[in-house]
Amino acid sequence: MTVTLSSTVTPEIEALWSESLDEIEDARGSVEFLEQISNGLSSNELLSFSVANGQLWLHDAGAGFALCRDSVILAIYVRTSDRRKGIAKQMITEMISNAGAVDGFALPGDRATKSLYESLGWKARLLTMRGD
């Protein structure tokens, strides 16, 4: 299996994107995070922008995607049925090699993503707090 940059928005990518948004909508901090990375774009516009700017990495089996901008992995998603098969780790490894990824983002309380990054030897080093 390979991981490549997506060059077009296909119906399969749109479905995967929608699944990921449905899954995180109740996660603590997700709404604020999406607002922060979207710069006022709708979720579909954000998807199109990410593809057009070489930021959306897709697992070739359609099992997942990752969004990497300015060497930071902002989002990583693997379909529930494809989890625990090394897909996310493969995507991160590819982004380290080909996109220069050096940081990754995990929502507050997202232990699975934090554990994934730690399995690659990354360490938590930043805590952002807001008093909004």
User: Could you tell me which residues are beta bridge partners of residue 4?
Assistant: 58
pLDDT at 115: 92
Domain residue spans in the chain?
A: 3-119
Per-residue pLDDT averaged across 76-91, rounded? Answer: 93
Domain 3-119 sits in CATH 3.40.630.30: yes
129 pLDDT above the threshold of 70: no
pTM comes to 0.86
Q: How confident is the model at residue 29 (pLDDT cuts 50, 70, 90)?
A: confident
Distances (CA, A) of 98 to 43, 68, 71, 78: 25, 11, 10, 20
Question: How far out from the chain centre does Cα 33 lie?
Answer: 12
pLDDT per position as a tens digit, 115-128: 999 999 998 876 66
